């Protein structure tokens, strides 16, 4: 049974279009993790689900009721959603017990004793019964966030929304908050979690949404998204890929400038000297070999070089596009080493997963450094 339905959700801030038409159905018991780069609309989407940001278009249904309908009782529907913020947002003038019980007493009609009993039970689950009378200023960030989770659970929500719940925490406190969320996951609570903790998302979520370009760019199970992403931007994000590109438009191009660009790229992302030298050597040999064999002595050439570095596995892929005659530099006999095939021999020895294609007058070469 669906507990949240979103259709055609759009949100802009002035001329900046952040959400460009989100469609999503959340089933009861699902644990959805939303991942993506900064500024891709993850947190804005959560805020729209509670109408803390008013969408420019689209409809939102919570437990069958349309939150975006005219004259709807927004506060009543909001009570079905629990929200855990990055910055905790506890009432600083109230102690822990008061933070937990004020809303259920006023809004749900709980008696003080009922609210107190429920609060103590939740505090026991997160290991903080001894902090019932403490004020937020005397709690660590991790303890405050655990209290914030308990406060959300006090309202018996249909869905709990987590907006990067560990981003404001010291690294030593992240584990204690993630442990609480893992515990909730075992209770089959419905959750939507915006997070940058990839290992946590893989472990806890039943579905991963990757946000990019103002939309749900790709979605699937944790295994599908983290082990076999299909779309280019998902692959780049999951593998933390970095790019260096260089275009060559004449035979007498500035080799030191290109090699300097590769050096700066390598230093920026921590590639070791051995790998950097291999990139430079392969690119130089490939470029000169292709110019000699495909351009027939012409001074004007059109070559594009793309170097991709994956931080996750430190792999380096090189893509090379060269307009001109068809020529595969590794389609040679390497039994004998001579001046003619020296460059190709270097490429052959330093590369793996090599592929070549010729289409529409362009040579396309792709290989991974060994």
pTM as predicted = 0.74
| Cα–Cα distance list, 73 to 21, 110, 189, 205, 347 (Å) | 25, 21, 25, 31, 68
Q: Are residues 329 and 306 in the same domain?
A: yes
State percent of the chain over pLDDT 70.
95
What pLDDT is recorded for position 82?
Answer: 92
Residue 297 above 70 pLDDT? no
What pLDDT is recorded for position 336?
Answer: 55
Domain that holds residue 300: 241-369
Residue 50 above 90 pLDDT? yes
Q: Are residues 191 and 247 in the same domain?
A: no
Total domain count for the chain?
Answer: 2
What tens digit of pLDDT does each residue of 141-174 get? 899 999 999 999 999 999 999 998 888 777 778 8
CATH number of the domain encompassing residue 336? 3.30.565.10
Where does residue 103 rank: exposed (0-12), middle (13-18), buried (19+ CB within 10 A)? middle
HSE-CB at 30 with a 13 A cutoff on CA atoms is 21
Helix 255-268 and helix 273-294, axial crossing angle in degrees, nearest 10: 150
State percent of the chain over pLDDT 90.
55
Measure the CA–CA gap between 276 and 273, rounded to whole angstroms: 5
Measure the CA–CA gap between 253 and 287, rounded to whole angstroms: 10
Radius of gyration of the chain (CA): 28
Q: Are residues 184 and 324 in the same domain?
A: no
Q: Are residues 77 and 197 in the same domain?
A: yes
CB contact set of 128 (below 8 Å; sequence gap of 6+): 96, 143, 146, 147, 150
Residue 342 above 70 pLDDT? no
HSE-CB at 7 with a 13 A cutoff on CA atoms is 4
What pLDDT is recorded for position 361?
Answer: 87
What tens digit of pLDDT does each residue of 317-337 get? 889 899 888 988 877 665 554
Closest CA relative to residue 164, chosen from 196, 206, 208, 120? 196
Chosen domain end from 208, 238, 268: 238
Average pLDDT over the chain reads 89
What tens digit of pLDDT does each residue of 171-228 get? 778 888 888 898 888 888 999 999 988 888 998 999 999 999 999 999 999 999 999 9
């Amino acid at each position: 049974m669906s507990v949240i339905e979103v259709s055609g959700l759009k949100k802009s801030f002035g001329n900046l279009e952040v959400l460009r038409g989100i469609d999503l159905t959340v089933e009861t018991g699902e644990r959805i993790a939303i991942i993506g780069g900064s500024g891709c609309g993850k947190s804005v989407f959560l805020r729209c689900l509670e109408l803390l940001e008013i969408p420019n278009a689209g409809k939102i249904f919570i437990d069958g009721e349309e939150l975006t309908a005219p004259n709807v009782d927004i506060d009543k529907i909001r009570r079905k959603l629990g929200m855990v913020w990055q910055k905790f947002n506890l009432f600083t003038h109230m102690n822990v017990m008061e933070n937990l019980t004020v809303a259920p007493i006023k809004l749900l009609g709980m008696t003080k004793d009922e609210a107190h009993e429920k609060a103590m039970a939740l505090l026991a689950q997160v290991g903080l019964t001894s902090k019932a009378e403490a004020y937020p200023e005397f709690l660590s960030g991790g303890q405050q966030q655990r209290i914030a989770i308990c406060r959300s659970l006090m309202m018996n929500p249909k869905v709990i929304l987590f907006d990067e719940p560990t981003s404001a925490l010291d690294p030593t406190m992240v584990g204690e908050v993630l442990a609480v969320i893992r515990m909730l996951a075992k209770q089959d609570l419905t959750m939507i979690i915006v997070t940058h903790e990839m290992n946590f998302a893989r472990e806890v979520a039943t579905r991963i949404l990757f946000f990019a370009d103002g939309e749900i760019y790709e979605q699937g199970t944790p295994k599908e998204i983290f082990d076999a992403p299909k779309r280019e931007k998902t692959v780049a994000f999951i593998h933390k890929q970095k790019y260096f590109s260089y275009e060559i438009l004449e035979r007498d191009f500035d080799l030191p400038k290109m090699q300097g660009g590769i050096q700066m790229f390598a230093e920026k992302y921590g590639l070791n000297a051995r790998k950097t030298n291999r990139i430079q050597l392969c690119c130089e040999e490939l470029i000169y070999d292709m110019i000699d064999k495909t351009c027939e002595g012409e001074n004007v050439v059109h070559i594009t070089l793309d170097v991709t570095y994956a931080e996750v596995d430190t792999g380096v892929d090189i893509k090379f596009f060269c307009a001109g005659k068809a020529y595969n530099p590794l389609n040679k006999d390497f039994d004998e080493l001579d001046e003619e095939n020296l460059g190709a021999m270097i490429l052959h020895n330093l590369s793996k997963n090599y592929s070549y294609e010729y289409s529409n007058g362009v040579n396309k070469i792709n290989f991974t450094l060994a």
